[in-house]
Structure 1
Amino acid sequence: MTVQFSAILQAVSNYNKLQQTGNALTQQLTAGKKIISPRDNPVLYNRINTFRDEISRFDTYLNNMNEGLSAVSQVQDAVTEQLGFLTKMLELANESKQGGTSQNERNAYNAEYLKLNAELNNIVNNTTFNSKPLLDGSFAASGSGYMITTGQNVNYEINFQKTTTDSDGLNLDGTSIASTNNTNTAITRLEDAIDSLTSMQRSLGTDEYIVESRSTLMESKQTELELLIEKYEYIDPVKISAELDQNQMLQQYALAAIAYLSESRQNMIDYLFP
């Protein structure tokens, strides 16, 4: 009778374990996750949260890099526009320099030249990001350039040279093409300005490439972490459903065993104690 009673207790214990497993499987199927709380798997739960924290930091860095790329794009557009104006100004200067050009024609060329020259500063004034001017020299010096946070304690500096028309910019203030001598000076300065902005464009292209590369690498790392979270945390609904069906079947067998053992025990008691 002792053996019989122990068997009943073991059958009840097995049933309770199956029921707990079934409840856990049902919870997983409902939530779509196998790691819901620390008690499910403390190590994996903490690891998943660590991954999520890192993904969140990556989001911050990626936003910083996207903002930086937007600033570079604005500067590139502005410099391209300024180069267009400079090219037009150089064409006017060469026209004014041509022999046989009358003074009235030079004056007309010069009026157009001065309008274009003034517009160069308007381009600078309108090139801002987050209300900060980008081409007024604020970010020109090394060490005080436009900083982009691309990782933990990692910054990338971009220098935006000053492209105003004053002497420490494009050095076009005071230039004129109203006379031959003035025109020669203007042509020299225009060519220097065009060379300077062309060089700036190439440098910005390199900066843009580097930041984009860091952004792509970080996105790749972020994807890897997301896949790990999916691997550790999320379930295969088909697999869990099959396990739940099997568990429910085993529970039925366990209940049948308990009923059988209980009935056998009762029959033995009735036999021994009629």
Structure 2
Amino acid sequence: MGGTADVVVVGGGVSGLTTALVLAERGRRVRVWSRDPASGTTSAVAGALWWPYRIEPGARAGDWSLETLRVRLPLIDMPVHLAWLERRLAAAGGVLERRTVRDFGEAAAEAPVVVNCTGLGARELVPDPGVRPVRGQLVVVENPGVREWFAEADPASSATTYFFPQPGGLVLGGTAEADDWRTEPDPGTAEAIVARCARVRPEIAGARVTAHRVGLRPSRDGGVRIEAEELPGGGLLVHNYGHGGAGVTVAWGCARAAASLVG
């Protein structure tokens, strides 16, 4: 194994960046390998309300969520937040690299510890067939004057109703479609989202649509996986994935739990 870093974190979404930051601020030499820029990850299109939504195990998720709430506001502008994490990581000495990983052995050749924050990518990379997509679609409209956020979800339904005022407009949602790999917006779904939100705030019906967003939440049968194992060629592999619809909500709690396994 090489010695260019103490830890390589694989995955550059909110979980990977937060975990890398916790480790770097504890004095570790950290490199983050991400196939996509943070702006191209699922994290970037999240509605980003602090909400333990579609995440297991419930008891641990509650503790992780409260840890995160102590650090950030309950509603987050994700592009701004991801950029802030990147800047803070750089200030702590962390290095962010665009790199596609096909085997954890590649990272183990560069550092004695590898942290797996690959989200949906863990399905093939681990491999873990229990990792499944839960498709979420959002609509962004020009804000007609809405200043309060609203969220209502039926666990038995794939449809949710919420709107969040953000600097770039009013974010409307949403859907939670299990095992749906489609990444293109569906026009019919978009119309239904606007209609549901307009039943709560009628002025939304006439708002101009500015964007459509689709993200695939990284759900996992059995819930979040935070555990360590030895790699076949030597080195330690720490897993931190399977956050479902609450990646932002549990980011700091899970990051600290994963960091504790690094030692």
Q: Structure 2 length as normaliser, TM-score?
A: 0.23
Q: Structure 1 length as normaliser, TM-score?
A: 0.22
Q: Which has the higher helix share?
A: 1
